[in-house]
């Protein structure tokens, strides 16, 4: 919800992040979602999708670097990478920092996200025209299903989606994850963004449990994203043969990459797998010290 000087991002029914807006650039509806782009005090340019903060100048690097570099550094030779969602281009930018990558396919259902990224987030969109990149405006779920049926292969799949509401719901299903597993084979790695462990722990555990039922190795890790609910975000790494926790030890690839990064580094990546007690217990299905479970759906908030 907006007024002329403020923009409200509902974290829950009772708590929201309020931006002080310096200038609104665009606000419009697509067939898939509402898109808002504005300049905010403290955060710079902000992209909100469906009324929820997606990208800010201030903290986009934290999200994109942790989603990307943890699995790509864990994989011994990530030549082919698939990004589902991520139309802002930030994840693609991070993927193509890896010289091993020969082909990166980005599939986003909403071409308007790509357009506004090019216009307002050039630091994210810089890789959209890289010759190694193939950018497709289309349904990521359908792309994965067709590619799996045709026997295609990827080394890493990154799911850079919005939260599991509206068009993104199908990207959090077991069916989608099984198609991803087929594309990855025995030696690939899947990482979907997995939501807020502070406010939406049930979403985090749902992703983890679904992937644990499909892949032999499943690990949760976390990082800071200031403008996302709670300021801490979860990611789930899954593979049939690669234990991502054990494959992110400091090496020459990390050392070469670190000078290019704003947020991630080798020590931080290793530490990201250390989880708070309430999260560990929730993943194990144990009762006890979990934070209160919140099941509110932001699309139903009246703020």
- Mean pLDDT on 276-300: 70
Nearest alpha carbon to residue 165 among 300, 18, 30: 300
Structural contact between residues 126 and 97, judged by C-beta atoms closer than 8 angstroms: no
- How much is the mean pLDDT over the chain? 92
Q: How many CA atoms lie within 13 A of 207 on its CB side?
A: 27
For domain 60-283, the CATH superfamily is Vaccinia Virus protein VP39 (3.40.50.150)
Q: Decide if pLDDT at 288 tops 70.
A: no
Structure tokens at 126: 């810089």
The predicted-structure confidence for 199-254, as pLDDT tens digits, reads as follows 999 999 999 999 999 999 999 999 999 999 999 999 999 999 999 998 876 678 98
pLDDT higher than threshold 60 for residue 46: yes
Task: Please name the fold of domain 6-56.
Answer: Spermidine Synthase; Chain: A, domain 2 (2.30.140)
Q: What is the mean pLDDT of residues 43-68?
A: 97
Residue 170: per-residue pLDDT: 77
Task: Map out the domains of the chain as residue ranges.
Answer: 6-56, 60-283
**Residue 293 pLDDT exceeds 70:** no
Residue 298, pLDDT score: 47
**How crowded is residue 122: how many other Cβ atoms within 10 Å of its Cβ?**
12
Across residues 42-47, what is the average pLDDT?
Answer: 97
- 2 in helix, strand or coil? strand
User: Tell me: the pLDDT tens digits for 237-247?
Assistant: 999 999 999 88
**pLDDT tens, position by position, 187-201:** 999 999 999 999 999
130 neighbors 123 (Cβ within 8 angstroms)? no
Residues in contact with 139: Cβ distance below 8 Å, sequence separation at least 6, in sequence order: 107, 109
Q: Which two tokens stand for residue 42?
A: 């403290």
**The pLDDT value given to residue 248:** 74
Task: Reply yes or no on whether 129 is catalytic.
Answer: no
Check 110, 160, 163, 195 and give the catalytic one: 160
% of the chain at pLDDT higher than 70: 91
Exposure string of 21-56, with b = 16+ CB inside 10 Å and e = fewer, is beeeeeeeeeebbebbbbbbeebbbbbbbbbbbbbb
pLDDT on residue 300? 53
Give percent of the chain with pLDDT exceeding 90. 85
Q: What pLDDT is recorded for position 303?
A: 40
- pTM for this structure? 0.93
d(CA 249, CA 254): 9
CB-based contact 35:113 (threshold 8 Å) = yes
- Residue 226's CB: how many other CB atoms inside 10 A? 16
pLDDT greater at residue 298 or residue 278: 278
Q: How far is CA 71 from CA 68, 77, 301, 302, in A?
A: 6, 11, 35, 38
With contact defined as beta carbons under 8 Å apart, do 272 and 219 qualify? no
């Amino acid at each position: 919800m907006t007024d002329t000087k403020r923009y409200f991002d509902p974290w829950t029914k009772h708590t929201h992040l309020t931006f002080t807006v310096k200038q609104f650039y665009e606000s419009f509806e697509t067939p898939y979602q509402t898109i808002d782009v504005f300049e905010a005090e403290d955060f710079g340019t902000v992209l909100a999708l469906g009324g929820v903060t997606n990208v800010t100048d201030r903290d986009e690097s934290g999200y994109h670097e942790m989603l990307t570099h943890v699995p790509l550094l864990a994989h011994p030779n990530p030549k082919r990478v698939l990004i589902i969602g991520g139309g802002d281009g930030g994840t693609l930018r991070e993927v193509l920092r890896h010289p091993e990558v020969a082909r990166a396919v980005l599939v986003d259902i909403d071409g308007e996200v790509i357009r506004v990224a090019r216009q307002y987030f050039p630091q994210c969109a810089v890789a959209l025209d890289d010759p190694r990149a193939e950018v497709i405006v289309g349904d990521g779920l359908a792309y994965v299903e067709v590619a799996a049926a045709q026997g295609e292969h990827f080394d890493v799949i990154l799911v850079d989606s919005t939260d599991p509401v509206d068009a993104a719901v199908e990207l959090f299903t077991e069916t989608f994850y099984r198609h991803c597993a087929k594309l990855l084979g025995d030696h690939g790695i899947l990482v979907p963004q997995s939501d807020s462990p502070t406010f939406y722990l049930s979403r985090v555990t749902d992703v983890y449990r679904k992937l644990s039922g499909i892949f032999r190795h499943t690990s949760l890790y976390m990082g800071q994203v200031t403008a996302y609910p709670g300021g801490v975000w979860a990611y789930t790494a899954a593979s049939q043969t690669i234990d991502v926790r054990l494959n992110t030890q400091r090496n020459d690839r990390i050392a070469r990459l670190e000078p290019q990064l704003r947020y991630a580094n080798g020590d931080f990546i290793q530490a990201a797998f250390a989880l708070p007690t309430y999260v560990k217990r929730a993943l194990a299905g144990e009762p006890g010290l979990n934070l209160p479970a919140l099941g509110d759906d932001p699309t139903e908030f009246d703020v």
